[in-house]
Structure 1
Amino acid sequence: MHLIDDDPAVLASLQLLLVSAGLEARGYQSAEAFMAVAPDLPPGCIVTDVRMPGMDGLEMMACLKSMEVNHPVVVITGHGDVSLAVEAMKKGAIDFLEKPFEDTALLRCIRVAIDSQASDADQDAANRQARQAIDSLSGREREVLEGLVLGNSNKMIARDLGIGHRTVEEYRANVMNKTGAENLSMLVQIALRAGL
């Protein structure tokens, strides 16, 4: 496990949590410090804050991608919003948690991230399943999904599509149900897997 957070207290707390859960954890107080060792990383999951002085978590993720470091990333932030979550997911984050979060939520995300390092066959099956879920959507449901993936609010989607706010909520609920997504980050992940 690799933890990046500029707040020493948060970093120490995260390390303690992961060690108590039986996971080995290394901490870094900046993205730059982490990037210095990134080319030689042992396997594992990366948990990073988004907003840090200097290089932020999203910039770090882009650098990791360009270096072909393909570790799963869980993004944490004290300043969460839909557009930030969508941007993090597009850059490859497995999940996005807003501080404060429950210890169990972080541990669950980490387990999912570790499991995400499954074989290519499993990845192909997940991509195929995501495409089938997206293909099951009606045209209007797909338009609502596209608005969500762009980080638009229900109000913005309603305005863009010329429909009522409540109608967007109904379509959004249908999209969540048909795709099996439990939350927005999961929905974005499904959409990205499907190539949306």
Structure 2
Amino acid sequence: MGSLAAQQQTAWAFVPGAKVYVVDDDKAVCGSLSSLLRSVALGCETFASADAFLQSPEPEGPACLVLDMQLLGTTGFEVQQAMASRRRCLPIIFLTGYGTIPMTVRAMKAGASAFLTKPVGDQELLEAIHHALHLDADALACLQGQDALMALYGSLTPRERQVMGLVVQGLLNKQVAADLGTSEITIKVHRRQVMSKMQAGSLPDLVRMSERLATILPNADLPR
């Protein structure tokens, strides 16, 4: 375990704050997995029930879920479904003592990161966790980027949003002015404000921002 721990610590050095959640109603399994994860310097939190996990705070950094398929009173599929309704859905690594091909297919189609059969080797599990943490790190960065973009867009006044929506369609200042019933000089002022508040270095930058916003703000005054 010593050499394995050293190798994996190096591999995870660039995933700061990584954490693994383990949900299993078998205390022995939770204890074993917790020891393994801590031996490679990974944060770990265990839960004996799905409800306890689902009520826990959302992690701040990259994380993944190691989930037993058959829990008391519920199944891993039900937990996966509950997670899917959240804005941030952690990658799930299923563990099961009796995996079947249909179960594996169902789990993977629903977005599982891995489906492993007990007993699973340390190396195989750690590799699956390593992959899942990187998936979540990428997803988290994307969400944070979306939040930052939405904050910039939220700083615009209603009129500035109208101007932005028309400008990214390629309309000239005088065309925007005619469309909104105001002067070209006023539109120039609004346009400068839009570029400044959105931190856009050029019109193509603003267009790309608009395209991203259109996917996360369906009711925004933006071109589709």
| TM-score, shorter chain, exceeding 0.5 | yes
Residues 58-116 of structure 1 deviation map (CA, whole Å, 9 limit, x = unaligned): 10011011122321111111111101111111221101100001001000000011122
- Is the 1:76–1:99 Cα contact (8 Å) retained in structure 2? yes
What is residue 58 of structure 1 aligned with on the other side?
Answer: 77
After TM superposition, the runs of 4+ consecutive aligned structure 1 residues lying more than 6 A away are none
Structure 1 spans left out of the alignment, 5+ residues: 124-196
Is 2:115 the partner of 1:96? yes
Higher RCO (C-alpha 8 Å, min separation 6): 1
In 2, Cα distance between the equivalents of 1:103 and 1:45? 16
What is residue 34 of structure 2 aligned with on the other side?
Answer: 15
What is residue 104 of structure 2 aligned with on the other side?
Answer: 85
Structure 2 spans left out of the alignment, 5+ residues: 1-19, 143-224
- Is the 1:32–1:55 Cα contact (8 Å) retained in structure 2? no
CA RMSD, aligned part only?
1.9
- Is the 1:45–1:114 Cα contact (8 Å) retained in structure 2? yes
Larger Rg: 2
- Is the 2:24–2:71 Cα contact (8 Å) retained in structure 1? yes
In 2, Cα distance between the equivalents of 1:14 and 1:45? 13
Mark the CA change 1:12 to 1:53 in structure 2 (over 3 Å): closer, same or farther: same
TM-score, scaled relative to structure 1: 0.58
What is residue 154 of structure 1 aligned with on the other side?
Answer: none
- Is the 2:21–2:44 Cα contact (8 Å) retained in structure 1? yes
In 1, Cα distance between the equivalents of 2:137 and 2:47? 26
- Is the 2:64–2:129 Cα contact (8 Å) retained in structure 1? yes
Residues 139-172 of structure 1 deviation map (CA, whole Å, 9 limit, x = unaligned): xxxxxxxxxxxxxxxxxxxxxxxxxxxxxxxxxx
Mark the CA change 1:64 to 1:18 in structure 2 (over 3 Å): closer, same or farther: same
TM-score, scaled relative to structure 2: 0.51
In 2, Cα distance between the equivalents of 1:56 and 1:109? 21
Q: Count the aligned residue pairs.
A: 121
Matches within 5 A, 1:89-128: 89-117=108-136, 119=138
